[in-house]
Homo-oligomer: A and B are copies of this chain.
Amino acid sequence: MTMDGQWYTEEWAGQGSAISLKITRKLHDEQSPYQRIEIYDTENFGRLMTLDGLVMVTDRDNFIYHEMMSHPALFTHADPKSVLIIGGGDCGTLHEVLKHPVTEVIQVELDERVTRVAEQFFPALTASNHDARARLRFADGIAWVTEAAAGSLDVIIVDGTDPIGPAAGLFSEAFYKSCWRALRPGGILAGQSESPLFHADLICAMHGALRAAGFADVRTLPFAQCTYPSGWWSTTLAAKGTTLDRIREQATNARPFNTRYYNLAIHQSAFALPQFLRERLDGQEGAS
């Protein structure tokens, strides 16, 4: 390939494909105890953060991901007060969650440097970090959930990286059992669940693990996400002792804050699965 200028490229592992973003300059580059953190200015996507060479967030398209990681769960729970975010170091999900009348949001991110670098370079995402309801903890999220008091949380959002390395455990039945235990009845779990096109196996395995852990209603909500592998991503919701159909419609329509992607119709329609994925999940869940 011959493209003018400087480009940041992420090769989508095992998929024979890659996305490139044109960069104007590198603003930051450090090796934290956990990973390499780089920040770039791009020509058309605003700021870009990468972790170990994988796109984590851009100014331009992160709104879709962060809104879909937060609002569907928060507008499904009947009265969400206590929220736990695992991962989420760029703080974009935290920022969306704090738009709701919650009383406490604990964010447990392994790598404090991700958050500190985000505070420096992504002011819009980190604008709520000093909200009195936010508690930033830098620790292992799996251990945190394991040790959490039973029935102490309303919503758990798993905003981790790909299921390789330290984040692999975030997709395991054992972890989901800990989440189930830590949630109150009526609790909702939301976890990022990769690409419907590239990672249907993972989505199916995640459904199986969540059901085995006790969650009776499990749904995957796909959405477009330009800079993530395949440009198509998803969040998977799971409910403890409630169903995911009970969206608080009136509150959703009357939300006292702006969104750029999310609205009630988007929430409702996100449950529609592509035929290939529905057939796989129906087959699996019919058989179980």
Contacts and interface: CB of A to CB of B under 8 A. Distances in A.
Interface string A260-288: 11110110111111111010000000000
Contacts of A268: 269, 272
B16 A19 contact: no
A138 interface: no
A35 to B, nearest CB: 20
Nearest to A20: B18
A144 interface: no
User: What copy number does this chain have within its complex?
Assistant: 2
A167 interface: no
Interface residues of A, number: 49
Contact of A226 (B231, B261, B265, B278): B231
Contacts of A16: 21-22, 42-45
Contacts of A8: 1
Contacts of A149: none
A230 interface: yes
Contacts of A278: 263
Nearest to A24: B16
A197 B64 CA distance: 11
B274 A260 contact: yes
Interface string A11-45: 10011111111100000000000000000001111
Given A222-B224, A275-B259, A275-B262, A19 B18 contact: yes
7 smallest A-B Cβ distances: which pairs?
A231-B231, A269-B269, A16-B43, A16-B44, A16-B22, A224-B232, A269-B272
Interface of A: 1, 3, 7-9, 11, 14-22, 42-45, 60-61, 64, 196-197, 222, 224-227, 230-232, 259-263, 265-266, 268-276, 278
